[in-house]
């Protein structure tokens, strides 16, 4: 038997994947709710990428409830579409925390690469809006801005490099 379940939901027009532990599935006071945002340079990726990320480990190891949004990619919609979609998902997590089995006052946001950049932006946006309090943020190797460091200019990697980084930012910001 798996120690987690995966369900699909919708928050307005944003598709969500929800991972929940099968053990201790009833609402607990200290169960964290986590909005996990996939990476992909803002231009690629999908919510289903969570199966290969740290999000599943958070469910298994800590009993967390993880919600991951299928945010609009930059090829279809420029900034701030992805941020808006992530905020919609965050509000859904807060509004449905009890039924999902997590504490609405113990919400975390995290993500990798573009997901890390969206994590940082979303936490500031949520702070400014004042509707959702975020207890913790975990941006992992985040895409925060379109500037290069000296070391990143010399990146000739196969999967991600300086040229792809510039193209991703151009598409996201519509420069």
Distance CA 153, CA 48 (A): 31
Domains present along the chain, CATH in parentheses: 4-146 (3.40.50.1820)
Distance CA 147, CA 20 (A): 38
Is residue 143 helix, strand or coil?
A: coil
Is residue 52 helix, strand or coil?
A: helix
Q: Are 19 and 5 in contact (CB under 8 A)?
A: yes
CA-based nearest residue to 160, from 144, 145, 173, 143: 143
For every one of its 175 residues, what pLDDT tens digit does the chain have, with 9 covering 90 and above?
A: 477 888 899 999 999 999 998 876 545 677 899 999 999 999 999 988 765 668 888 888 888 999 999 999 999 999 999 999 999 999 999 999 999 999 999 999 999 999 999 999 999 999 999 999 999 999 999 999 888 778 777 777 787 888 888 899 999 998 6
């Amino acid at each position: 038997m798996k120690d987690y379940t995966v369900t699909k939901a919708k928050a307005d027009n944003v598709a969500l994947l929800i991972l929940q532990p099968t053990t201790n599935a009833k609402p607990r006071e200290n169960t964290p709710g986590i909005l996990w945002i996939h990476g992909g340079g803002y231009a690629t990726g999908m919510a289903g990428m969570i199966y290969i990320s740290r999000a599943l480990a958070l469910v298994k190891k800590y009993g967390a409830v993880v919600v991951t949004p299928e945010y609009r990619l930059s090829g279809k919609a420029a900034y701030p579409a992805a941020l808006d979609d992530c905020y919609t998902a965050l509000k859904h997590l807060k509004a449905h925390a009890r039924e999902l089995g997590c504490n609405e006052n113990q919400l975390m946001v995290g993500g990798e690469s573009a997901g890390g950049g969206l994590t940082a932006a979303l936490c500031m946006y949520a702070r400014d809006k004042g509707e959702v309090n975020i207890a913790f943020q975990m941006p992992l190797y985040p895409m925060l801005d379109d500037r290069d460091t000296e070391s990143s200019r010399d990146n000739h990697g196969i999967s991600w490099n300086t040229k792809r980084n510039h193209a991703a930012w151009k598409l996201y910001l519509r420069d």
